[in-house]
């Protein structure tokens, strides 16, 4: 199990973030999926997480993105509503997508944060500057992240990490 960082260590790492990436199911949603005879019908998203995306963009110029195994119109529609251009769906090896993003955007790993919740997120969680998971994430994710946020997936977990980044960047600006 990875030793959790102090608040000051978290703020220092968060102050460097230029892009916050997230998984969908279990982070932006509550892990519930509603099916009908036609297939996947609905997922529950938190409006507060959406405000986190907007606040990151407007207050501290941090971009957001999604990397998910999901490849559905529901995810695409949510990303469009939130004006998230960095959308990667149907991804099974998230760390490889991270490598491509780093090169394309000329970023360093310490400038990326990722929030995930399960075993398919572990490799990317280990390779970013700031890693987090929701309060109700799996033990596997909790064991490797820098921070376990206060909220559950789909209930503000993304907003929690967004607000930490905003706090870190606004404190940094104030101290310059």
Q: Give the pLDDT score at 172.
A: 65
Tens digits of residue pLDDT in 70-100? 999 999 999 999 999 999 999 999 999 999 9
Best CA proximity match to 97, nearest among 81, 76, 120: 120
Tens digits of residue pLDDT in 114-134? 999 999 999 999 999 999 999
Whole-model pTM: value is 0.94
Q: Give the pLDDT score at 3.
A: 77
Best CA proximity match to 165, nearest among 105, 106, 113: 113
H runs (alpha helix) in 38-138: 47-60, 73-81, 94-105, 122-125
Structure confidence at residue 8 as a pLDDT band (50, 70, 90): very high
Give 61: exposed, middle or buried? Use CB within 10 Å, 0-12, 13-18, 19+: exposed
Tell me which CATH code domain 16-171 carries. Answer: 3.40.50.1000
Structure confidence at residue 34 as a pLDDT band (50, 70, 90): confident
Percent of the chain with pLDDT over 90: 85
Domain residue extents for the chain: 16-171
Q: What is the mean pLDDT of residues 40-69?
A: 95
Percent of the chain with pLDDT over 70: 97
């Amino acid at each position: 199990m990875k030793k959790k960082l102090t608040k000051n260590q978290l703020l220092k790492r968060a102050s460097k973030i230029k892009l916050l990436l997230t998984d969908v199911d279990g982070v932006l949603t509550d892990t519930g999926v509603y099916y009908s005879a036609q297939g996947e019908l609905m997922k529950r998203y938190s409006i507060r997480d959406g405000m986190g995306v907007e606040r990151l963009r407007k207050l501290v110029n941090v971009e957001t993105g999604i990397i998910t195994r999901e490849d559905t119109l529901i995810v695409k529609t949510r990303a469009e509503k939130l004006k998230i251009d960095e959308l990667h769906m149907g991804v099974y090896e998230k760390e490889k997508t991270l490598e491509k993003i780093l090169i394309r955007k000329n970023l360093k790993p310490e400038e990326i944060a990722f929030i995930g919740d399960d075993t398919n997120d572990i490799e990317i969680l280990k390779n970013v500057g700031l890693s987090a998971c929701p309060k109700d994430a799996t033990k596997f994710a909790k064991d490797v992240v820098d921070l376990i946020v206060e909220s559950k997936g789909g209930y503000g977990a993304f907003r929690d990490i967004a607000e930490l980044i905003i706090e870190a960047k606004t404190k940094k600006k104030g101290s310059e």
